[in-house]
Chains A and B, each alone.
Chain A
Amino acid sequence: MGYDRRMNVTFWGVRGSYPVPGPSTIKTGGHTACVEVQRAGGRLIIDAGTGLRGLGKKLARTGDAGPHHILLSHVHWDHIQGLPFFEPMGDADASVVIHGLPVAATSLREVIDGVLRPTIWPPDVGPVRAALSFCEIAPGQRLTIAGFEVSPFTLNHPFGAMGYRIDCGSGSLAYVSDTGPFCDVLHKQHFLAAPEPLTAADRRTLENMRGDVIATLRGVHTVIYDTHFLSEEYARFSHFGHSTPEHALEICHEAGARRLVLYHHAPSHDDDLMDDVEARYRARGSDLAIAVDVAREGKTLNASDSRQPESAS
């Protein structure tokens, strides 16, 4: 049959919070969250940070009209800022489908195509000409999108966020960003100036969330994880809703994942620091039989299980 069962993952944006230009981010990349997942004949985009602009230029060059499916983890600015600059949005022949939590949809419509549009986006953002639709999805659903099996699950982040497991052929991938660990703080929908003490009910909610994440990730090949903070930084900012490489390794180990990709790097983490981080956590990962990589802009990884046949032919 010659059917290619591989799944490839390309990083277009690897930063959290805001884009970081300059000489110290050239190797790692300075754009915010955006990942492209490809199989033979299909594509998913996860998150629409500033990295999405570059992906849109590639798609426009190849004349791909879509439908372009974008899964959003949540709608904080660093995950949606690239959307108005996504070239297919201005193409009357293209279609763009945005999948995300219901809590985000109304607000996102106002920002992307509604009342807030002229006050926020500069004039080089042209009108939306593509067929644009919003598809509300919820944790626990099992969906088929662009030929991928997609399983969304709940994460621990201010105002709510969703992670995704994506399966296709011999490929399996989990996107776990943005999330705090499932212990110190339970994020809800109010502002947190500091960590709030957990109630017994909060602890149960976190334990259940953690259990669901591990069950969903069971046996997955590659995990892309929000490791915004190093542990010494996390100690000061535990209420910001981001994790450390230690938290990520613990979850990956319990789920039996093969590879951890450190992702959503803090803006202050320059190329030298990321090289150190990669060396440090590769050593820790090897003790647990988990390969560890730092997500770097422009790099492509294969998320397929090589123990299974690459091709059904």
Chain B
Amino acid sequence: MNLTVWGTRGSFAAPGAEYVGLGGNTTCIEITAGAGRLIIDLGTGSIPLAASLVAGAHGRGASLSILLSHTHIDHIQGLPFFSPFFIAGNRIRILGPSTADAPLEHLLQQYLRPHHSPLHGLENLAATVTVDEVDCGTDLTVEGFTVRALPVLHGHATALGFRISDGRRTVAIMTDVDGHDDNTAQLATGADLLIHGATILDGAQSSIAAAIALAERAHVPRVILTHFAPGATDAAILAAITAAAATTSIAVSAARESFPIPL
């Protein structure tokens, strides 16, 4: 299994010299194993990923599955610019959360509505696109992976965390999580890697400390942090992670945009 974080920022993209080491694109993660591929979230990081996909099979017509953790803008900002949507013959399935607000497909349509996007709606994409709300808590088979999704605490929004396995390795992914509960424990328990958001770098609310505590409880040997705040510089992030890593035997590091992570 290989994993690449294409967007390491939460909330808002961070152009500028202070952010080029870890990256300034909003969130997107790619997981590959054999011929299988999963994409998690469509922040601006999905746009450079899209270019590599269209250079291959998705330039001619192929299937693709995208998991959306939720519809905050930093997770869907790349949707109107994700080039596989503009290739006829591509079959793209979007799987995301059910919310009390509105059906997922309706929320994505609202993002593309004519006032705000010249695409006017999902129906104008050349690819065949289906949008499904994920059945939480059951093991689904998607592109050869076993995927379990569960809602995690994230303000007053429903955000999904994921547990993804290729049969040999398992990764738990929770980029937007404000606290830990039975669901995050279930997603993480026994995983080989925890990908965790790091919006807050230090203090009592530190996301890094919360990630390490979860990994220790759930027996996860390795943590990679991502989804950094837009104002957090490379230097500040690396200093906070180095300090936190010294307190644990778990391997803790920062995601770097577009660098492959073998698992």
> Taking the nearest CB of chain A, how far is it from the CB of B59, in angstroms?
16
Assess whether A119 is in contact with B99, with CB atoms less than 8 Å apart: yes
Q: Which residues of B contact A287 (CB under 8 A)?
A: none
In chain B, residues 7-21, which have Cβ atoms closer than 8 Å to a Cβ of chain A? Answer: 9-17, 19-20
* B17–A26 touching, CB < 8 Å: yes
How many angstroms between the C-alpha atoms of A134 and B44 in the bound complex? 29
In the complex, whether A181 has a CB less than 8 A from a CB of chain B is no
Q: Interface extent on B, as a size class?
A: 35 or more
Interchain CB contact (< 8 A) of A120 among B10, B16, B111, B199: B111
CB of B153, distance to nearest CB on chain A (Å): 11
Q: Taking the nearest CB of chain B, how far is it from the CB of A102, in angstroms?
A: 12
- Whether, in the assembled complex, A19 has its beta carbon less than 8 Å from a beta carbon of chain B, the answer is yes
**Which listed residue, A22, A80, A123, A240, touches B155 by the CB 8 Å rule?**
A123
Which partner residue on chain B sits nearest A74 by CB separation? B115
Interface of A is mostly: loop
A22 and B23 contact, Cβ closer than 8 Å, known pairs A30-B15, A119-B107, A193-B124: yes
Q: Do B99 and A123 have beta carbons less than 8 Å apart? A: no
Residue of A at shortest CB range from B76?
A: A120
A-B contact pairs, 23 of them (CB 8 A): A18-B78, A20-B13, A20-B44, A21-B20, A21-B25, A22-B24, A25-B15, A31-B15, A50-B12, A76-B117, A76-B118, A77-B117, A107-B116, A119-B71, A119-B101, A121-B72, A121-B73, A122-B10, A123-B154, A123-B157, A124-B11, A124-B199, A159-B114
Q: Complex Cα distance A116/B154, Å?
A: 17
Alpha-carbon distance A107/B155, docked complex (angstroms) = 24
Is A103 in contact with B115, judged by CB distance below 8 angstroms?
A: yes
Which single residue of chain B is at the shortest CB-CB distance from A13? B15
Please give, as numbers and ranges, the residues of chain B lying within 8 Å of A267 by CB-CB distance: 47, 81
Of the listed residues B17, B107, B116, the one surrounded by the most CB atoms of chain A closer than 10 A to its CB is B116
Verify if B217 is at the interface (C-beta below 8 Å from A): no
Residues of A with Cβ closer than 8 Å to B?
A: 17-23, 25-26, 29-31, 50, 53, 75-77, 80-81, 85, 103-104, 107-108, 111, 116, 118-125, 158-159, 189-193, 240-241, 267, 297
Asked whether B81 lies within 8 Å of A21 as measured between CB atoms, the reply is no
Interface centre among A81, A103, A119 (most CB of B within 10 A): A119
Give which listed residue, A21, A108, A158, contacts B14 with CB less than 8 A. Answer: A21
- Near A by CB (< 8 A), chain B positions 72-121 give 72-74, 77-78, 80-81, 99, 101-102, 107, 110-111, 113-121
Interface-centre pick from A21, A50, A159, A193 (highest chain B CB count, 10 A): A21
Question: Which chain A residues lie closer than 8 Å to B157 at the CB level?
Answer: 118-119, 123
A241 touches B118 (CB 8 A): yes
Residues B118 and A118 in contact, CB atoms below 8 Å apart = no
Instruction: Note all chain B residues with C-beta closer than 8 A to A81.
Output: 73, 77
- Known contacts A50-B13, A122-B73; 9 further A-B pairs (Cβ under 8 A): A20-B13, A20-B44, A77-B77, A116-B110, A119-B99, A123-B178, A159-B114, A191-B118, A267-B81
Complex contacts, A80 vs chain B, CB 8 Å: 116
Q: Which of A53, A124, A158, A297 contacts B229 (CB 8 A)?
A: A124
Task: Give the Cβ gap from B81 to chain A, nearest Cβ, in Å.
Answer: 6
Taking beta carbons and an 8 Å cutoff, which residues of B are in contact with A?
A: 9-17, 19-20, 23-25, 44, 47, 71-74, 77-78, 80-81, 99, 101-102, 107, 110-111, 113-121, 124, 154-157, 176, 178, 199, 229-230
Instruction: Given A23-B20, A158-B118, check contact A17 B81 (CB 8 Å).
Output: yes
A30 touches B16 (CB 8 A): yes
Chain B residues near A297 (CB, 8 Å)? 15
B15 touches A29 (CB 8 A): yes
Min CB distance B178 to A, Å, is 8
Task: Please tell me which one of the listed residues A21, A190, A191 contacts residue B19 in the complex, with CB atoms under 8 A apart.
Answer: A21
- Are A107 and B229 touching (Cβ within 8 A)? no
Q: Is A21 in contact with B114, judged by CB distance below 8 angstroms?
A: no
Q: Closest approach, in angstroms, between the C-beta of B44 and any C-beta of chain A?
A: 6
Task: For the complex, give the distance between the alpha carbons of A244 and B127 in Å.
Answer: 29
Could you say which of B13, B23, B119 contacts A19, with CB atoms under 8 Å apart? B13
- Choose one: A19, A30, A50, A159; the contact of B118 (CB below 8 Å): A159
Distance from B188 Cβ to chain A, minimum over Cβ atoms (Å): 22
> In the complex the two chains form, what is the Cα distance from A8 to B16 in whole Å?
24
Q: What residue of chain A has the Cβ atom nearest to residue B45's Cβ?
A: A21
Bound CA–CA A274/B78 (angstroms):
23
Once bound together, how far apart are the Cα atoms of A158 and B10, in whole Å?
30
The complex places the Cα of A81 from the Cα of B74 at a distance, in Å, of: 11
How far, in Å, is A79 (CB) from chain B's closest CB? 9
Q: How far is the CB of B234 from chain A (nearest CB, A)?
A: 12
Within 8 Å CB of A25, what residues of B?
15
Question: Which residue of B has the minimal Cβ distance to A268?
Answer: B51
Choose one: B12, B102, B124; the contact of A85 (CB below 8 Å). B12
Chain B residues, CB < 8 A from A125:
11
Residues of chain B with a CB closer than 8 A to A85's CB: 12
The 9 closest A-B pairs by CB, nearest first: A30-B15, A21-B24, A123-B155, A19-B13, A107-B115, A191-B120, A21-B15, A158-B118, A122-B72
Chain B residue contacts of A189, Cβ below 8 A: 114
Residue of A nearest to B71 (CB): A119
Q: Is the CB of B72 within 8 A of A191?
A: no
